[in-house]
Amino acid sequence: MRISMPIRISDELPAVQFLRKEKIFIMTYSHSNMYEIRPLRILLLNLMPKKIDTETQILRLLSNSSLQIDIQLLRVDKRESRHTSMHHLNSFYCTFEDIQYQQFDGMIVTGAPLGLLDFNNIAYWQQIKYIIEWAKEHITSTLFICWAVQAALNIFYKLPKETRKNKLFGVYEHHLVHSSYTPLTRGFDDNFLVPHSRYAEFPSHRIFNSTDLELLAESEITGAYLIASRDKRLVFVTGHPEYDAMTLKNEYYRDNIAGLKTSIPVNYFPNDDPQLTPYVTWRSHGNMLFSNWLNYYVYQITPYDLDEVHL
């Protein structure tokens, strides 16, 4: 009998209740011990302020797989968060010191609302640099999202920080770069939609001319969207395929309350009317991207014995 193997997470994590309401198969630690299968160990470095929202979004995408996944939540340090309780952080997150000698099959580094800050003005920039460098010896494949892409490109390739004058905000169409076919894009439509919310700039020509990375998908408006190393160990996603239906709406109202005068997100609200409920037009792409990453860039190249991850 074939068993669908889901993500393994703590029984008390708030995301469990959210995802169960969506009929997503969640296997808590207490249940998973019945199966003699080594799960993939995935480290989630969550840099977003509203950590519970981001946990739920990422776990939703990771759950769309037949692979069993063991999730470890990681925070940069022990400083207090304005948007997430210390009880939640202390209950479900580890610090780098807790896992620095361990090996993981994969790591996801989320975005962060740091697009207008110089790297050296970020309070925990040195910690982020150290963790990303550490991952080269302890992680089989790492997936970077949005601002984390800008950080990683600077760390690995010394690419300077490029900032847009106006925020890139909305749902944009992208196309595959067919000259660079890879299993990561297997099953993608030729054109697909992805949300973006960033000030960071990712010109395709900069990636092509200044790195040895493969450009897999792009857009004339957003620039480079999906980039990967040829050895499958680094994947860069400049948008937010993990966002749920209301994320851009919440960010739109948040920005305007803060006086930022952010424009209505492009191609998001029906008739550009913020009073109408937006449709999700990127869910299938997000599911396919994360499923392909887990299967072709993590599961199929990671050793069964994680002590052999020193690649």
Which is higher by pLDDT, 241 or 180?
Answer: 241
Per-residue model confidence (pLDDT) at position 5: 41
- The H or E element that residue 30 is part of is helix 29-32
Among the listed residues 214, 242, 251, 285, the single catalytic one is: 242
204 labelled binding-site residue: no
Residue 3 has pLDDT above 50, yes or no: no
What is the value of pTM for the model shown? 0.89
Per-residue model confidence (pLDDT) at position 1: 24
Beta bridge partners of 93: 73
Beta bridge partners of 235: 143, 228
Whether the CB-CB separation of 217 and 174 falls below 8 Å is answered with yes
Which is higher by pLDDT, 4 or 97?
Answer: 97
Domain boundaries, the chain: 7-163+171-245+280-303
> Annotated catalytic, 94?
no
Per-residue model confidence (pLDDT) at position 178: 72
Among the listed residues 146, 196, 251, 285, the single catalytic one is: 146
Which is higher by pLDDT, 38 or 141?
Answer: 141
Window from 21-25, 61-65, 121-125, 191-195 with minimum mean pLDDT: 21-25
- Sign of the CA dihedral running 268, 272, 277, 279: negative
Residue 310 has pLDDT above 60, yes or no: no
Please give the Cα distance from 211 to 156 (Å, whole number): 9
> Annotated catalytic, 242?
yes
Per-residue model confidence (pLDDT) at position 37: 67
229 labelled binding-site residue: no
> Annotated catalytic, 251?
no
- Homologous superfamily (CATH) of 7-163+171-245+280-303 is Class I glutamine amidotransferase (GATase) domain (3.40.50.880)
197 labelled binding-site residue: yes
Please give the Cα distance from 76 to 262 (Å, whole number): 29
Average pLDDT of the segment spanning 262-273: 96
Task: Retrieve residue 141's tokens.
Answer: 């494949």
Q: What is the number of alpha carbons within 13 Å of residue 17 lying toward its C-beta? A: 5
Please give the Cα distance from 76 to 298 (Å, whole number): 23
Residue 196 has pLDDT above 60, yes or no: yes
Please give the Cα distance from 130 to 125 (Å, whole number): 9
Among the listed residues 138, 174, 240, 285, the single catalytic one is: 240
Per-residue model confidence (pLDDT) at position 81: 78
